């Protein structure tokens, strides 16, 4: 346990995880904030998965509560902010982890899947900010950490909906950062690369029928550092952006990608 977030509260949206062999970015963030002393509201559409995260937080001596919400439903976004305030009395950190991959090239991608990608990755994230920001502005403090993707720094035909929605997350992060800087609220993003997570590896193995180890090795081979990152790598970067150690940093998109985007000169 550390004290970097002692006395603080964190709302981790998407704090459950896709089933798989490793720990996801959202669950790792909830545990990391709790280990740093924060009380955590673990929000997820999948309540059982949020409750599993809560149990893991309690196992390390932390404090957490599960809350079910679908961030594509505006009432749920309002309710998650209200619930956090009722339970904790304050929200210091909003961590937006929810994201889905809507894949397919333009001519194969249905308009419904394109819209779904934007609804979940962008509009839902914006709506959680919308309902937490009035509280942070009134207090004159707060940190928002949006989990994006290195895909938002790249171009990719097969993932056009994902890359475009994640680029928009970067634009939204910078716009909110500028708007709320005078109010003491910082807004930053983390852009993970090839991560050894259920979303990154197990779901690809399941959908393609490939062996998990083969998917993992192929992804690792693309990374300049020679291996994939972990959910913990993303959580550690998020903790920095959520804590006072980054008190003068706002509007940045921090790649956590082992050098992947250096190859493309996109950051």
Q: Does 147 engage in binding with ligand NAD (CB under 6 A)?
A: yes
Question: Taking CB under 6 A as the rule, does residue 258 contact ligand NAD?
Answer: no
Instruction: Let me know: does 92 contact 9? Beta carbons within 8 Å.
Output: yes
Contacting residues for 219 by C-beta, under 8 A, at least 6 apart? 194, 196, 200, 201, 228
158 dihedral zone (left: phi>0; alpha: psi -120 to 50; beta): alpha
Looking up tokens 């062996």 gives 211
Among 14, 117, 255, 258, binds ligand NAD (CB under 6 A): 14
Could you give the residue numbers annotated as active site? 162
Nearest partner of 109 among 42, 162, 169, judged by Cα = 162
Interface with ligand NAD includes 18 (CB under 6 A)? yes
Identified binder of ligand NAD from the candidate list 44, 52, 202, 233, rule CB under 6 A: 44
Q: Which is nearer to ligand NAD, 45 or 186 (CB)?
A: 45
Selected from 46, 47, 51, 236, the binder of ligand NAD by CB under 6 A is 46
User: Does 98 help bind ligand NAD (rule: CB under 6 A)?
Assistant: yes
> Among 34, 41, 42, 120, which residue interacts with ligand NAD (rule: CB under 6 A)?
120
- Of these, 199, 215, 238, 242, which contacts ligand NAD (CB under 6 A)? 199
Query: 94-112 burial, b if ≥16 CB within 10 A, otherwise e?
Result: bbbbbbbbbbbeeeebeee
Please name the helix (run of DSSP H) or strand (run of DSSP E) that holds residue 143, with its range, or none: strand 142-147
Sheet with strand 9-13: strands edge to edge: 63-68, 39-44, 9-13, 93-96, 142-147, 185-192, 253-256
Which segment (56-64, 180-188, 194-202, 240-248) binds ligand NAD by CB under 6 A?
A: 194-202
142 or 231: CB nearest ligand NAD:
231
Binding-site ranges for ligand NAD (CB under 6 A): 14, 16-18, 24-26, 44-46, 49, 69-72, 97-100, 120, 124, 147, 149, 192, 195, 197-200, 231
């Amino acid at each position: 346990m550390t004290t970097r977030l002692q006395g603080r509260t964190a709302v981790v949206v998407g704090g459950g995880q896709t089933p798989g062999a490793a720990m996801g970015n959202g669950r790792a963030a909830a545990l990391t904030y709790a280990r740093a002393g924060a009380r955590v509201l673990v929000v997820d559409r999948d309540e059982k998965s949020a409750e599993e995260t809560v149990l893991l937080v309690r196992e390390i001596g932390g404090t957490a509560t599960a809350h079910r919400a679908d961030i594509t439903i505006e009432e749920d976004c309002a309710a998650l902010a209200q619930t956090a305030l009722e339970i904790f009395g304050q929200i210091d950190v909003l961590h937006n982890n929810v994201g889905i991959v809507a894949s397919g090239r333009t001519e194969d991608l249905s308009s419904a899947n394109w819209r779904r990608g934007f609804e979940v990755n962008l509009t839902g994230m914006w709506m959680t900010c919308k309902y937490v920001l009035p509280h942070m502005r009134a207090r004159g403090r707060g940190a928002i950490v949006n989990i994006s993707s290195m895909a938002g720094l790249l171009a990719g035909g097969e993932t056009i909906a994902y890359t475009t929605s994640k680029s928009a997350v970067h634009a939204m992060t910078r716009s909110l950062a500028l708007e709320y800087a005078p109010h003491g609220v910082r807004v930053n993003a983390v852009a993970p690369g090839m991560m050894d997570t259920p979303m990154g590896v197990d779901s690809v193995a399941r959908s393609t029928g490939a062996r998990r180890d083969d998917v993992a090795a192929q992804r690792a081979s693309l990374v300049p550092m020679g291996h994939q990152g972990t959910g913990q790598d993303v959580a550690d970067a998020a903790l920095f952006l959520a804590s006072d150690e980054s008190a003068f940093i706002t509007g940045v998109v921090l790649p956590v990608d082992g050098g992947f985007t250096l190859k493309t000169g996109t950051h």
